[in-house]
Structure 1
């Protein structure tokens, strides 16, 4: 139900629906459900004002990425490219993982990263 809410074009963009979906994803994410970790992690990283929530979201994304979730790998790679998290070696690692699973977006971003040293 939470994924359906978030994927709904009309409903998925409202703050109240995102909050409800986040609450619904919390327990499965804590139990190790990779898709729940990935979706809740993305939600917390992008839609929360709290630094604490963003840290939790970042950790959930790491867990999902380690478990092989392509979207979480892409998201982590993008986050590590941002100035506040800038770690290009980690960005490259996660983007390469996502690209290996067929993410064209990850491949595109990799082309714009500076070469490895």
Structure 2
């Protein structure tokens, strides 16, 4: 039986452990850098270990990369699971991303989409409210 990982918020980690997540986030959020496949690979490598350790922000960002940018089924499945873990831990961005994914024809599950979008909207994510209005 798999053991449950503790949920860690980035701010509760020692500064040294925060560096890979912060740097990966910085890379992904740069308009000119964040769209390059090579930068996404680097960021993914930086996020992998913290995500395994249960860092919510790392799970959320790595899940987004794997679901959006990976072509193979296994990576998308892992990304979806990482997003679920982060969303269950209360990450509004992961909840929004899950809602978006469940609206797509590949995953079309309107009940799941509505569930995650409602949770994201309760956290003040405006885009989730807009998507809920269109469902």
- The answer to whether structure 1 residue 101 and structure 2 residue 105 are counterparts is no
Pairs aligned (count): 113
For residues 24-83 of structure 1, give each alpha carbon's deviation from its aligned partner in whole angstroms, at most 9, with x where no partner exists.
Answer: 000000000000000000000001111100000000000000000000000000101111
Runs of 4+ deviating beyond 3 Å: none
Aligned to 2:66: 44
SS of the aligned residue for 1:84 comes to coil
**Matching residue within 15, 20, 41 for 2:42:** 20
Matches within 5 A, 1:70-89: 70-89=92-111
- Structure 2 alignment gaps of length 5 or more: 1-22
Cα RMSD of the aligned pairs, angstroms, is 0.6
- Farther-moved stretch of structure 1 (58-67 vs 8-17): 8-17
Aligned to 1:62: 84
In the superposition, the TM-score normalised over structure 2's length comes to: 0.82
Report the CA distance between 1:8 and its aligned residue: 1.1
- The answer to whether structure 1 residue 34 and structure 2 residue 56 are counterparts is yes
- Structure 1 alignment gaps of length 5 or more: none
**Matching residue within 107, 114, 118 for 1:92:** 114
In the superposition, the TM-score normalised over structure 1's length comes to: 0.95
